[in-house]
Structure 1
Amino acid sequence: MSANKNGDGGWKTFIWNSEKKEFLGRTGASWLKIITFYVIFYGCLAGIFIGTIQALLLTISNHKPTYQDRVAPPGLSHNPRSEKAEFTFSMSDENSYKAYVDNIDTFLVPYSSEKQDNPQKFEDCGAVPKSYTERGDLEHDVGVRKACRFDRSILKDCSGSSDKTYGFDVGKPCLIVKLNRIVNFRPRAPASNSSLPAAIHTSYQGNLIPIHCSAKRDEEADKLGPVDYFGMGSGFPLQYYPYYGKLLQPQYLQPLVAIKFQNITKDFEMRIECKVFGENIDYSEKDRSQGRFDIKMLIKS
């Protein structure tokens, strides 16, 4: 019993020693010194941290990444999206392609004319491919820049105005394709026809990044059928570039190309590759979306 009392007394004495005027083993003066030390110590650490962050922020642009030397050429992406880029549907079953149709509908909403009627944000940049639309340097004090209008009606049969199912109900599906955004990137058109597939030599026009789709396997080429391209030419016109970033061009819409497969062989898994062609657009085996994409399409009769 006395041991418990002694133990209790030792614990209480450690918290407050009335004889030595100590709290937790330290006098008031000792506590004042150690608290002052740690306040100064951690204050200096916080100051160093804040100072380095501020110094870093002074070197970073609000409009453009400081280093873009490791940014790959733009990826090529498509809508609708599907798991593993595989499209399987039946013309007679609306539910089998409804998700694809809904995906395109949602994607094209910003491209409706009523969404681009503000003259303070949008301007017409011509109906034929032209050279880049320069809107000043990124760091210039011009502020928010206008963007070129791109009305979905340009996509014709794949615009959704006359065909609400984008061709899926008749086995002639559309894909809506875009080049992914890179701040201040200027895609360069092919220097000559020699770098283009023979199929688009006659249709290619300047100031355009052309796109072409073909069978992934040469022996399946006859099963793909004709492919139509809708947009401003059969590619991406240069006047929509460069892109100035979300801060300066929050309303920016990149140009689109609609691809319509007119007669893919039914009940056959078709492998298709689509590629864009430009002087500064490369391809990589490690990144299958860099400058191109592959899809599988199975249309059930």
Structure 2
Amino acid sequence: MADNKNKVNEYYTKPPELGRWEGFRLFLWNSETSQFLGRTGSSWAKILLFYLIFYAVLVGFFVALMAVFYQTLDMKRPKWELDSSLIGNNPGLGFRPMPPPSNVESTLIWYKSSDKGNVRYWQEQLSLFVQSYQKENNEHADNVVPCSNFIKPEEGKVCDVEMPPTKWNPCLPEAGFGFEDEKGGPCIFLKLNKIYNWKPDYYNSTNLPGPDKMNDYLRKDIQDAELRNEHEMVWVTCEGENPADKENIGPLRYIPQRGFLSQYFPFKNQDGYLSPLIAVHFEQPKRGILINIECKAWATNIIHDRVDRRGSVHFELMVD
């Protein structure tokens, strides 16, 4: 009986205490049980096989879902268009050059024309911008064709945005975009934001808004253009926002014409497509004074909202 009791006590004998290093070494490899990090080889094989199958099934499930998802997408056409989309059907305007990234929230174009170092930033920004409109820099140049005004290209092709010196001077790199003119002012480039399949509804003499919504000189320009059958464009106006700004802004010149021509619409994500451009040359802005400027795009289906900047763009100009 005593022998059995001794055997039981021996079975429950407390294992010898090990030091930290000895215990860690035993955890790494236990030669008595052939365990590595607390598991035998078969145990490691089973758990690795389980996770291999688990993640393989997970990746396969994800890939299958993505494949089904991409079958519902058209890489050229958005699923939701115009009123159904978040961007809506009311395009806005963008302007170039933009202020430095260090002042990203600013819309102020401020420079001193006699200081070449001061104007270099603005000229370099515009040079980079117009380079993207050069046909040799367009990766889909074969899809870009020259177009006559108001004549749309063949299906799938896009019209070139040409900038011949005879029409675009002084809004060209070689002329410094007007920034070095000590008597005149700069050229500011405007472009209409792209909205897929948006088609402008053009103004003519029968649908012009009243004088309280459109100034008389634009009304007259549209009527005169209609007589020449050249009215189908998204017209553009730039004006001082306040009475003082209107006095200080000086005469303006729109290059190459006063709006975006009809052959560039609608945008359908064609290869090589670039938004049409116009340049606004501020010929004699008042110097040393901050001028608030608002430019608007005009079509019957463009709504203007100054608060949300719908159909328009705002910036400030100061020439020292």
Secondary structure, in 3 states, of the residue corresponding to 2:266?
coil
1:225 to 246, 250, 253: 250
2:56 to 43, 48, 53: 43
Give the Cα separation in 1 of the matches to 2:93 and 2:308. 11
Indicate the structure whose relative CO is greater, using CA pairs within 8 Å and at least 6 residues apart: 1
Match of 2:283 in 1: 262
- Contact kept, 8 Å, 1:113 with 1:152, in 2: the verdict is no
Deviation at 1:152, TM superposition (A): 1.0
Q: After alignment, is 53-62 or 192-201 more displaced?
A: 192-201
1:25–1:147 distance in 2 versus 1, CA, 3 Å? same
Deviation at 1:8, TM superposition (A): 6.2
Identity of aligned residues (%): 26
Deviation at 1:227, TM superposition (A): 1.5
Q: How does 1:7-46 map to 2 (within 5 A)?
A: 13-17=26-30, 20-46=33-59
1:229–1:24 distance in 2 versus 1, CA, 3 Å? closer
> What is the TM-score when the length of structure 1 is the normalising length?
0.78
2:108 to 86, 104, 109: 86
The amino acid across from 1:88 in the alignment is: W
1:282–1:59 distance in 2 versus 1, CA, 3 Å? same
Deviation at 1:173, TM superposition (A): 1.9
2:79 to 66, 69, 82: 66
- Contact kept, 8 Å, 2:123 with 2:173, in 1: the verdict is no
1:277 to 292, 298, 307: 298
Q: How does 1:174-253 map to 2 (within 5 A)?
A: 174-190=187-203, 192-194=207-209, 196-204=214-222, 205=225, 206-231=231-256, 233-245=257-269, 248-249=270-271, 251-253=272-274
Give the paired residue count. Answer: 282
1:26–1:256 distance in 2 versus 1, CA, 3 Å? closer
Structure whose CA Rg is larger: 2
Match of 1:295 in 2: 315
Deviation at 1:22, TM superposition (A): 4.5
1:268–1:24 distance in 2 versus 1, CA, 3 Å? closer
Give the Cα separation in 2 of the matches to 1:40 and 1:162. 65
The amino acid across from 1:280 in the alignment is: N
Secondary structure, in 3 states, of the residue corresponding to 1:193?
coil
Q: After alignment, is 154-163 or 53-62 more displaced?
A: 154-163
Match of 1:138 in 2: none
- Contact kept, 8 Å, 1:80 with 1:100, in 2: the verdict is yes
2:170 to 142, 158, 169: 158
Secondary structure, in 3 states, of the residue corresponding to 1:225?
coil
Please provide the CA RMSD for this pair. Answer: 3.3
Secondary structure, in 3 states, of the residue corresponding to 1:51?
helix
Give the Cα separation in 2 of the matches to 1:67 and 1:12. 63
Deviation at 1:190, TM superposition (A): 3.5
> What is the TM-score when the length of structure 2 is the normalising length?
0.74
Secondary structure, in 3 states, of the residue corresponding to 2:318?
strand
1:99 to 121, 130, 155: 121
